[in-house]
């Protein structure tokens, strides 16, 4: 599944923008928009709590009291989401870098094979890959007389790492190919091998180019970790469903899901804002 990347907040450097839109790139405007979006989401949460409270029987606990009551459990589930996202991003990045190198290999067979892998995992639905890994891998391993369990959250991390791997591979390939060919030629003139050129000259310049899209994909991955609830992983969405079932109150649905949405916003939006700022900074250079 290919997810479109959000447009940059500053598409042109100030010196090249004919409209003189340098004001739109100022950190103050970015911060103001961030605060405004956060306040809007918090307002929705407060309004949903107030409306639900008006519809609640006075003999029952208040909606706000229930949110406070279940916050520790929701926090535990959200930490699970973060853990899955970090593990999946780490695995996907490591495999994606190797796959990206295969995309620029000198052997045509390696390039064609890696292209097939990248295209398959980039265009496969994330949920289908998640189910595939969950049912393909066993629930436990037997090492001699010892049984080693294989937790569902690790399998979910592996399933989400597959599309990340393919997209990171394209980021690596694009960054390497964006380096002027004159640098490759200069390295050959200085008797550098291809490996030395790649590791000592090309890749250090690619880090700044790869970092903003890498961070963007991490934010997308973090939001996609909620898919793990469908396969039974006890992350925040799974726990939210259990909480609503345990309380048996329909008036709790909108407030608690708004509460969860606020958590994801507070975690993911700063990453997205930092990504746009880094893109603008490197574009100006």
**155 in any annotated domain:** yes
pLDDT in tens, 84-105: 999 999 999 999 999 999 998 8
Tell me the pLDDT of the chain averaged across its residues. 81
Looking at the chain, the whole-number percentage of residues with pLDDT higher than 70 is: 83
Whole domain around residue 97: which residue ranges?
Answer: 30-284
Question: 149 forms bridges with which residues in the sheet?
Answer: 140
**16 in any annotated domain:** no
**170 in any annotated domain:** yes
**13 in any annotated domain:** no
pLDDT in tens, 226-244: 999 888 888 899 999 999 8
Looking at residue 234, what DSSP letter applies?
-
Mean pLDDT of 178-201: 85
| CB-CB neighbours of 152 under 10 Å | 16
| CB-CB neighbours of 197 under 10 Å | 19
Looking at the chain, the whole-number percentage of residues with pLDDT higher than 90 is: 35
Cβ neighbors of 238 (< 8 A, separation 6 or more) are 77, 228, 229, 232
**Contacts for 25-33 with beta carbons within 8 Å, 24 or more apart?**
25/280, 27/277, 30/273, 30/276, 30/277
Per-residue b/e over 206-232, b at no fewer than 16 CB within 10 Å? beebbbbbbbbbbbbbbebbbbbbebe
**20 in any annotated domain:** no
Enclosing H/E stretch for 11: none
What is the CATH classification number for the domain harbouring 221? 1.10.3720.10
**147 in any annotated domain:** yes
pLDDT in tens, 12-26: 344 334 344 444 445
Inter-axis angle of helices 203-224 and 63-103, nearest 10: 140
**9 in any annotated domain:** no
Domain count, the chain: 1
**101 in any annotated domain:** yes
pLDDT in tens, 31-57: 555 566 667 777 777 777 777 777 766
Residue by residue, DSSP assigns 135-200 as HHS-SEEEETTEEEE--HHHHHHHHHHHHHHHHHHHHHHHHHHHS-HHHHHHHHHTT--HHHHIII
Lowest mean pLDDT, pick from 57-61, 112-116, 175-179: 57-61
Enclosing H/E stretch for 201: none
Q: What is the pLDDT of residue 60?
A: 72
Q: What is the pTM of this model?
A: 0.79
Helix and strand numbers (H, E) in the chain are 10, 2
Q: Cα(1)–Cα(4) distance, rounded to whole angstroms?
A: 10
Contact in structure between 167 and 219 (CB atoms under 8 Å): no
């Amino acid at each position: 599944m290919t997810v479109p990347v959000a447009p940059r907040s500053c598409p042109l450097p100030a010196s090249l923008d004919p409209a003189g839109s340098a004001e739109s790139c100022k950190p103050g405007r970015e911060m103001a928009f961030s605060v405004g979006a956060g306040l809007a989401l918090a307002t929705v949460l407060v309004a949903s709590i107030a409306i639900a409270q008006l519809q609640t029987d006075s003999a029952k606990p208040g909606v706000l009291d229930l949110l406070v009551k279940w916050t520790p459990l929701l926090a535990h589930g959200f930490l699970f989401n973060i853990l899955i996202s970090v593990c999946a991003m780490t695995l996907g990045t490591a495999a994606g870098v190797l796959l990206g190198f295969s995309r620029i290999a000198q052997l045509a067979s390696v390039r064609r094979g890696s292209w097939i892998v990248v295209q398959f995992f980039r265009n496969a639905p994330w949920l289908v890959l998640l189910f595939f890994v969950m049912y393909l891998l066993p629930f436990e391993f037997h090492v001699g007389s010892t049984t080693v369990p294989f937790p569902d959250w690790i399998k979910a991390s592996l399933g989400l790492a597959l599309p990340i791997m393919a997209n990171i591979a394209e980021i690596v390939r694009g960054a390497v190919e964006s380096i002027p060919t004159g640098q490759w030629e200069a390295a050959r003139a200085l008797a550098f091998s291809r490996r030395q050129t790649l590791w000592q000259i090309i890749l250090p310049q690619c880090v700044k180019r790869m970092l903003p899209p890498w961070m963007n994909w991490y934010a997308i991955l973090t939001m996609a970790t909620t898919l793990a609830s469908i396969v039974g992983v006890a992350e925040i969405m799974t726990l939210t469903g259990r909480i609503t079932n345990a309380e048996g109150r329909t008036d709790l649905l909108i407030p608690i899901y708004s509460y969860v949405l606020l958590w994801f916003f507070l975690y993911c939006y700063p990453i997205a804002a930092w990504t746009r700022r880094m893109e603008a900074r490197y574009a100006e250079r």
